[in-house]
Amino acid sequence: MSSIWNNRISISFFGEANDPYVGVTIDNLPAGEYIDSEEIRRYMDRRTPKSCWDEYTKRTPLPRIMSGVVNDRTSGGPLCAFIQNNDKKPENSDPCLSRLAQPGHADYTGALRYKGYNDVAGKSTYSERLTAPLCFAGAVCAQILERRGIFTGAHVAQIHNIKDNPYDRVKLDRDAVLSVRYKDFPVINDRKGWLMLEDMAKAKEAGESLGGIIECAAVNVPAGVGSPVFDGLENNIAQLIFGIPAVKGLEFGAGFGTAKMVGSQNKDDFYVDEHGHVLTRTNNHGGILGGISSGMPITLNVAFKPLHNEGINGFGDTCIVPRAVPCVEAAVNIALLSNMLDYPNFC
């Protein structure tokens, strides 16, 4: 199965949803980078925000690093981590379960692709449980990037019909990106967050589920990172974003909104600021032009579908969007670090 992403650094996932362990191997990381295990734990705990805890909530165990780190620093070898699976029972253990029983899931398509040998009951490699290794890899990459001043952050931009305040795509800075990172519910406007939680509670009572949108941004990415055509920065980010379960849409900058604009509205005029930096007055391009970073904040929106009702176990599953916030950040972190390795004087 295609569980390997290889682009300067290599990310390889192993394990399935019902295995005792899942894990990840990260190859070609710079040597000598300090890895803060407690910070990794804090990052991974964000997969279940406190406001979404219920009787089904289980804290992700601290990953066990098997190789690639010596005395808390990367050794230059492959970094391999195991993550214990606390909840490895099939999500639907009915022995009469048809392989075609769950609309909206990959049971049918996976059964065809793998001739019926895939683990249908546990949703195999299509499960959201496989976001744990993604978040571990993203947390490691985030620590390396942040020591160079590059910060990535995300928030719940929308659940159902309720929208949070958006990022300012032009004036976005480190403090704004980090302001929601460790909130109990990751939104900019707390009042909007309360309304989202109320809507989730109503959906749970009705036996329904909700989808939504996550907005993610990266600041202080220098201009000139990435390549045109098939190896663009957008391309690399998109590959990883679509590896997150339930993602159905992705846009950069103004995205689909540009279809409603005329050219004079969409253009991002360049200017030189008082520090001699080349910037744009607007940022409809989302910080990437021709697959290459422009020096403006990189911004993107990711759309998630609602879960099928039979897959809902608790309040946190009524809407998986809050739990996916660190997953989106992780995907962006991995893509950015991979591209930054080519940038002069990065390592």
pLDDT the model gives residue 87: 59
pLDDT above 90 as % of the chain: 75
Reported pTM:
0.91
pLDDT at 111 over 90: no
CATH number for the domain formed by residue range(s) 4-91+127-340: 3.60.150.10
Give the torsion sign (CA, 168, 169, 170, 176).
Answer: positive
d(Cα 23, Cα 9) in Å, to the nearest integer? 16
The string of pLDDT tens digits covering residues 188-239 is 999 999 999 999 999 999 999 999 999 999 999 999 999 999 999 999 999 9
User: Which pair of structure tokens corresponds to residue 212?
Assistant: 């939504």
Containing 243, the helix (H) or strand (E) segment is none
Give the torsion sign (CA, 155, 157, 162, 163).
Answer: positive
User: Which pair of structure tokens corresponds to residue 189?
Assistant: 């406007």
pLDDT the model gives residue 125: 47
pLDDT at 338 over 80: yes
Higher-pLDDT residue of 338, 88: 338
pLDDT the model gives residue 93: 47
Identify whether the C-beta of residue 126 lies closer than 8 Å to the C-beta of residue 106: yes
User: Which pair of structure tokens corresponds to residue 184?
Assistant: 């109990």
pLDDT tier for residue 120 given thresholds of 50, 70 and 90: low
Higher-pLDDT residue of 105, 296: 296
Domains in the chain: boundaries: 4-91+127-340
pLDDT the model gives residue 214: 98
Q: What is the mean pLDDT of residues 34-44?
A: 95
pLDDT at 344 over 70: yes
Higher-pLDDT residue of 128, 32: 32
pLDDT at 95 over 90: no
pLDDT tier for residue 114 given thresholds of 50, 70 and 90: confident
Higher-pLDDT residue of 60, 323: 323
d(Cα 131, Cα 44) in Å, to the nearest integer? 10
The string of pLDDT tens digits covering residues 133-176 is 999 999 999 999 999 999 999 999 999 999 999 999 999 999 99
Mean pLDDT of the residues in the chain: 89
d(Cα 105, Cα 188) in Å, to the nearest integer? 31
The string of pLDDT tens digits covering residues 62-91 is 899 999 999 999 999 999 999 988 755 544
pLDDT the model gives residue 316: 65
